[in-house]
């Protein structure tokens, strides 16, 4: 364990220095050195020899392993190990969109999302007319057993004057009562997780480590593709139901922004993590990207920025052909984290627009040698970090299987090389 667990004054100074370093990078100023962020799924737990089942169910053990890693690596920021949903919450909701250890995957396998159709093609009209009604009556019972029964609730706009009294008995429907009871239990578990999250954040603050993300959200296209229509569904909708899809994306942009801004009010960290799955060069043409993906997503980005939040858009895979398009946002207000995108080209196009983050390849961290990692980080720091506006990270954070000596080489590099 390193010297970071030191006097409170020193930790507070380290906290302030780290925050300033990252804020300088976001504002496209040159920090004292390139900041580096610790973001992973469960690398700390795996390094401690924990299997995925324990990592997803034992909050305290998970936090303990993360604390040890932070003290060792000394990152400028970290993403909380406490995800919004871990095993107990998933159990309580009876969540159907993921498989996780003990629920479809083995104790030694990561949780995974199930790409399926959660909204049928002919349900666009219903969604567009009344999203909340659609959620209660169709969507929620499809994604979690705890929600089953909510379809028996009365239609909410029907709750007025005499009509309201006429349908009030539906709140006593046994299925509704059972659903609300199951959701109460899920809510209590979620509150327990939230309390752990808050306590861990406070503890890390005291040790000098700020968080790298508060709440998360999705781009409208990802939201609709991942959570509603499934990959095949949304790809077909681009031809078969173009107008309905565009209307749904437009609508989603508004409420994604509203909900994210409202949730962020209660979170000390104002950086909003936005993982992006469907923007990559190989998935859709540039013309389709400009039609379906970018306009509603840009609306979300502008809405978040206007509310004083910092979007952290994680552009998965390779998005090199999108760079000129996504440069159309206010200067110095967002982080663009790239996985496989050409970083030098990104610097060229976005150097005056957004802070660039990334991108030590997963293959190098998992299978390479520390010297290779060191050389790659040096290249990034010297070339992409030149003039400021760069944060070092893995291409997709630290993969759970990364070799510890490679991770150490990555974190050490920011203190060895100057931009």
Partner 1 sequence: MKEQEQQLIDALAEMREDEALALAKTMLDRGDNPVRVLELCREAMDIVGKRFEKQEYFLPELVLAGEMLETIGALAKPLIVQSAGGEAKKLGRVLVGTVHGDLHDIGKNIVTFMLDINGYEVRDIGIDVPVKKFLDEIREFKPAVVALSGFLTLAFDSMKETVQAIEKEGLREGMKIMIGGGQVDDAVRSYTGADAYGSNAVAAVTLCRQWIPAAA
Query: Of the candidates 396, 409, 414, 419, which one interacts with partner 1 according to CB under 8 A?
Result: 396
Closer of 158 and 363 to partner 1 (Cβ):
363
Q: Which of 336, 297, 269, 415 has the alpha carbon at shortest distance from 28?
A: 336
Site for partner 1 contains 247 (CB under 8 A): no
How many angstroms separate the Cα of 243 from the Cα of each of 15, 19, 82, 278, 357?
A: 49, 44, 39, 19, 35
Q: Which of the ranges 15-23, 101-109, 170-178, 403-411 carries the binding residues for partner 1, by CB under 8 A? A: 101-109
- Minimum CB separation of residue 225 from partner 1 in Å reads 11
Of 18 and 241, nearer to partner 1 (C-beta) is 241
Give the residue with the Cβ less far from partner 1, 48 or 418: 48
Q: Given the complex with partner 1, which of 153 and 284 has the nearer CB atom?
A: 284
Least Cα distance to 27 among 418, 385, 333, 356 occurs for 333
CA distances from 85 to 59, 104, 186 (A): 11, 17, 10
CB of 317 to partner 1, least distance (A): 8
Residue 185 interacting with partner 1 (CB under 8 A) = no
- Residue 368 interacting with partner 1 (CB under 8 A): yes
Q: How far is the CB of 231 from partner 1 (least distance, A)?
A: 6
Taking a C-beta distance cutoff of 8 angstroms, is the pair 82, 200 a contact?
yes
What binding mask, one character per residue, do residues 319-348 give for partner 1 by CB under 8 A, x or -?
Answer: --------------------xx--------
What is the Cα–Cα distance from 249 to 367, expressed in whole angstroms?
A: 40
- Choice from 11, 193, 364, 384 touching partner 1 (CB under 8 A): 364
Beta bridge partners of 394: 360
Residue of 214, 194, 350 whose CA lies nearest to 274? 214
Q: Minimum Å distance from CB 100 to partner 1?
A: 12
Among 240, 259, 345, 416, the residue binding partner 1 under the rule CB under 8 A is 240
Q: Which is nearer to partner 1, 284 or 414 (CB)?
A: 284
Q: Give the DSSP per-residue string, 240-273.
A: HSHHHHHHHHHHHHHHHHHHHHHHHHT-S--EEE
Among 12, 16, 114, 344, binds partner 1 (CB under 8 A): 114
String marking each residue 275-294 x if it binds partner 1 according to CB under 8 A: -------xxxx--x------
C-alpha to C-alpha distance for 125 and 89, rounded to whole angstroms: 32
Q: Supply the minimum distance, in Å, between the C-beta of residue 261 and partner 1.
A: 32
Interface residue with partner 1 among 2, 6, 112, 258 (CB under 8 A) is 112
Token pair for 131: 């999203």
**Per CB under 8 A, which region of 102-110, 161-169, 189-197, 210-218 contacts partner 1?**
102-110
- Phi, psi (deg, nearest 5) at residue 110: -65, 155
Q: Does 231 bind partner 1 (CB under 8 A)?
A: yes
SS3 labels along 1-30: CCCCCCCHHHHHHHHHHHHHHHHHHHCCCC
Identity of the residue, 332 or 361, whose beta carbon is nearer to partner 1 in the bound complex: 361
Cβ proximity to partner 1: between 100 and 390 the closer is 100
Contact 273, 314 (CB under 8 A): yes
Cα–Cα distance for residue pair 337/329, rounded to 1 Å:
15
User: Which lies closer to partner 1 via its Cβ, residue 4 or residue 109?
Assistant: 109
Question: Among 225, 301, 221, 292, which residue's Cα sits nearest to residue 257?
Answer: 301
* Position 400 contacts partner 1 (CB under 8 A): yes
Per CB under 8 A, the list member of 35, 75, 332, 361 interacting with partner 1 is 361
Burial pattern 372-386, b for ≥16 Cβ within 10 A else e, equals bbbebbeebbeebbe
Examine residue 99 and tell whether it contacts partner 1 (CB under 8 A): yes
Q: Are strands 310-315 and 390-394 parallel, antiparallel or unpaired?
A: unpaired
Does an H or E element contain 276, and which? strand 271-276
Closer to partner 1 by CB, 361 or 385: give it.
361
CA distances from 47 to 200, 365, 416 (A): 19, 14, 25
Instruction: Tell me: does residue 236 bind partner 1 (CB under 8 A).
Output: yes
Q: Which of 197, 264, 362, 391 binds partner 1 (CB under 8 A)?
A: 362
**Residue count (the chain):** 419
Q: How far is the CB of 361 from partner 1 (least distance, A)?
A: 7
Which residues of the chain form contacts with partner 1 (CB under 8 A)? 99, 105-106, 109-110, 112, 114-115, 231-232, 235-236, 238-240, 282-285, 288, 317, 339-340, 361-364, 366-368, 395-396, 399-401
């Amino acid at each position: 364990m390193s010297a970071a667990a030191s006097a409170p004054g020193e930790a507070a100074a380290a906290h302030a220095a780290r925050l300033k370093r990252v804020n300088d990078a976001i504002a496209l100023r040159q920090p004292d050195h390139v900041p580096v962020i610790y973001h992973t799924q469960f690398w700390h737990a795996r390094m401690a020899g924990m299997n995925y089942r324990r990592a997803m169910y034992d909050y305290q053990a998970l936090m303990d392993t993360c604390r040890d890693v932070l003290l060792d690596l000394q990152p400028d920021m970290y993403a909380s190990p406490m995800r919004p949903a871990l095993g107990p919450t998933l159990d309580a909701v009876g969540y159907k969109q993921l498989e996780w250890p003990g629920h479809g995957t083995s104790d030694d396998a990561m949780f995974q999302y199930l790409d399926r159709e959660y909204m049928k093609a002919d349900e666009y009209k219903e969604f567009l007319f009344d999203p909340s009604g659609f959620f209660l009556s169709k969507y929620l019972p499809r994604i979690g057993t705890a929600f089953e029964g909510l379809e028996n609730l009365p239609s909410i706009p029907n709750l007025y004057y005499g009509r309201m009294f006429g349908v009030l008995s539906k709140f006593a429907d046994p299925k509704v009562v059972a659903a609300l009871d199951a959701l109460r239990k899920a809510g209590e578990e979620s509150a327990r997780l939230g309390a752990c999250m808050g306590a861990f954040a406070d503890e890390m603050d005291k040790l000098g480590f700020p968080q790298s993300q508060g709440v998360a959200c999705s781009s409208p296209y990802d939201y609709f593709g991942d959570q509603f229509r499934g990959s095949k569904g949304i790809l077909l909708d681009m031809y078969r139901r173009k107008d309905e899809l565009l209307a749904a994306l437009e609508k989603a942009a508004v409420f994604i922004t509203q909900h994210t801004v409202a949730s962020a009010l209660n979170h000390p960290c104002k950086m909003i993590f936005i993982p992006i799955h469907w923007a990559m060069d190989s998935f859709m043409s540039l013309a389709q990207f400009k039609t379906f993906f970018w306009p509603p997503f840009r609306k979300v980005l502008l809405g978040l920025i206007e509310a004083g939040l910092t979007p952290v858009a994680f552009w998965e895979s390779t998005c090199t052909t999108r760079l000129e398009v996504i440069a159309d946002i206010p200067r110095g207000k967002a982080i663009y984290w790239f996985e496989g995108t050409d970083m030098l080209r990104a610097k060229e196009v976005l150097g005056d627009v957004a802070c660039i983050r990334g991108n030590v390849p997963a293959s190098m961290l998992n299978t390479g040698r520390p010297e290779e990692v060191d050389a790659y980080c040096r290249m990034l720091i010297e070339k992409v970090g030149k003039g400021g506006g760069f944060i070092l990270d893995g291409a997709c954070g630290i993969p759970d299987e990364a070799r510890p000596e490679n991770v150490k080489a990555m974190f050490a590099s920011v203190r060895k090389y100057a931009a």
